[in-house]
Amino acid sequence: MHAPSPEMEVLEVAECWRLLRIGHLGRIAVVEPDGSPDLFPVNYVAGADALFLRTAPGAKLDAFAAGRPVAFEIDRENHGDVWSVVVRGRARILDTDAEVEASGVRGLRSAGSWVKNEVVRVDPDRVTGRRFPRATRNPVPGSRSAGPPAGHAGHDGKPKPIPHLPPRPGGSAV
């Protein structure tokens, strides 16, 4: 793993859990039987040391039942910063009323209109997070661009034009 840039803050695990507790919508990635990833938006609730969500029969539930690894991600723009938290681990289907009651999902509302009776617990192996201050975005070292990305507003609030770059010698302009 490379060292973070001065513009990126690596979040402590406690801060990651605080951010997880204020959210309610994230994305969960599962591994399909053929090894390919799939990604689903989910409503969730964060407990003290795990995430809980409801689901219906389908690809997610099949992946959870098979014990394949999962990754869960939330991100937000907040007060000029952009942050992301990722939880990697395994999901398991809760099968006792006591576990379901303790999970806190009873009041969880789904964005979909269908019934989601299965309650799932994501037990993390690793929780990581990063925060990027928006005001310090710099071009990639060695790139030919300068200033904010094309179409982004400058200090006066007006969009900046796309810079014209001449074609590369002996190559295409793209």
Residue 151 is assigned to a structural domain of this protein: no
Higher confidence at residue 119 or residue 135?
119
Output the pTM of the full model: 0.72
How many structural domains comprise the chain? Answer: 1
Long-range contacts of 62-66 (CB under 8 A, 24+ apart): 62/33, 63/30, 63/31, 63/32, 63/38, 63/91, 64/30, 64/91, 64/92, 64/93, 64/120, 65/93, 66/33
pLDDT digits (tens, 9 = 90+) for 38-69: 999 999 999 989 999 999 889 999 999 999 99
For residue 35, the enclosing domain spans 9-134
- We report the CATH number of the domain holding residue 101 as 2.30.110.10
Residue 29 is assigned to a structural domain of this protein: yes
Q: What is the pLDDT of residue 41?
A: 93
